[in-house]
Structure 1
Amino acid sequence: MNQPTMDQQAFEQQFGLKIRHKLNLASTALEPAATDRLFEARQRALAHHVDSVGELSLAGMGRHLFGMGEDYWRPLAAAAALAAFLVCGDYVTSIQRAAELEEVDSALLADDLPINAYLDRGFDTWLNSSAQP
């Protein structure tokens, strides 16, 4: 949908003002009963217009609230890319962690030291003291 340019808006505003002026001049020649009926009809039309504008104005509110406008897909694509990056990063990290645990388990199983030695409290102390130069 094309937005009207400033020239078009100014023209439409001037045109509306001219029509209003002509109608005001013509209404002075009408009988009071006719002007009352026209006034009531105008009030009903304005009330209907306000109701319909209120209903229609909520239709595109989401775009304005989130600032999406016509390019609503760009923020969605950015969010999807961020989510994919986070999921892939978590997956790679979990694979690396599993590989590290596998390496430790393989070293423990291949060692000649019995499992009970690893469960001994003194073994942790010995490891800490032997690791320091």
Structure 2
Amino acid sequence: MTQLQTNPMLSAQDRFARNVTARLTEGSAALPHDISERLRIARMQALAHRKQVIMRSATVVASQGGGTAALTFGNQGDNDRPNWWTRFAAALPLVALVAGLLTIYVVQNDLRADELAEVDTALLTDDLPTVAYTDPGFVEFLKANRDTTSP
């Protein structure tokens, strides 16, 4: 077996294509010049077409059964298992979402605590208006506080 046939990084299609190319190259030595030129041009066109197909399939949204879609990153090998970089890229939006939600939660709690502190400070430092002393609800509040604080 040659090195091309045993290379595990090549897919089965690539290995087959390389084997066919090697056999055609071996047999092309006995061909007339005009035929070999046409074959060379056809090979160049096929390679150009292959490069275009590879560029288009680098990042594709592939439709799966059941009305779902998955973002794929080109050919992932014979077993189609995603590598660690693909898994990291898929988990990154979830991590960003959780971090954003935690940040919003912390900021909102800080703002709420600041607002409550401002209200409490304003109540404690302001003078009580005289109308509050004549309010019946205020008198009831004082009575209730006396009942709970006395032994």
Letter of the aligned partner of 1:49 in structure 2? R
The number of residues matched between the two structures is: 103
* Identity between Structure 1 and Structure 2 (%): 15
Residue 85 of structure 1 deviates from its aligned partner by 1.4
How far apart, CA to CA, are the structure 2 residues paired with 1:74 and 1:42?
41
| Residues 91-100 or 48-57, more deviating | 48-57
Q: How does 1:99-114 map to 2 (within 5 A)?
A: 99-107=116-124, 108-110=126-128
TM-score calculated relative to the size of structure 2:
0.50
How far apart, CA to CA, are the structure 2 residues paired with 1:104 and 1:43?
81
| Residues 71-80 or 98-107, more deviating | 71-80
- Who is 2:101 aligned against? 84
Q: Which protein has the bigger helix share?
A: 1
Letter of the aligned partner of 2:100 in structure 1? A
1:98/1:109 CA distance change after superposition, 3 Å: farther
Letter of the aligned partner of 1:106 in structure 2? L
Q: CA RMSD in A?
A: 3.6
Mind listing any 5+ residue stretches in structure 2 that lack a counterpart?
Answer: 1-5, 61-72, 75-83, 131-151
- Who is 1:74 aligned against? 91
Q: How does 1:20-99 map to 2 (within 5 A)?
A: 20-57=21-58, 60=73, 68-99=85-116
Q: What are the superposed Cα offsets for residues 1-32 of structure 1, whole Å, 9 maximum, x if unpaired?
A: xxxx9658498777666544432332223222
Q: What are the superposed Cα offsets for residues 29-67 of structure 1, whole Å, 9 maximum, x if unpaired?
A: 322222121112112112222233333336549xxxxx8
Letter of the aligned partner of 2:122 in structure 1? D
TM-score calculated relative to the size of structure 1:
0.55
Q: What are the superposed Cα offsets for residues 94-114 of structure 1, whole Å, 9 maximum, x if unpaired?
A: 2211221221222214388xx
Mind listing any 5+ residue stretches in structure 1 that lack a counterpart?
Answer: 62-66, 113-133
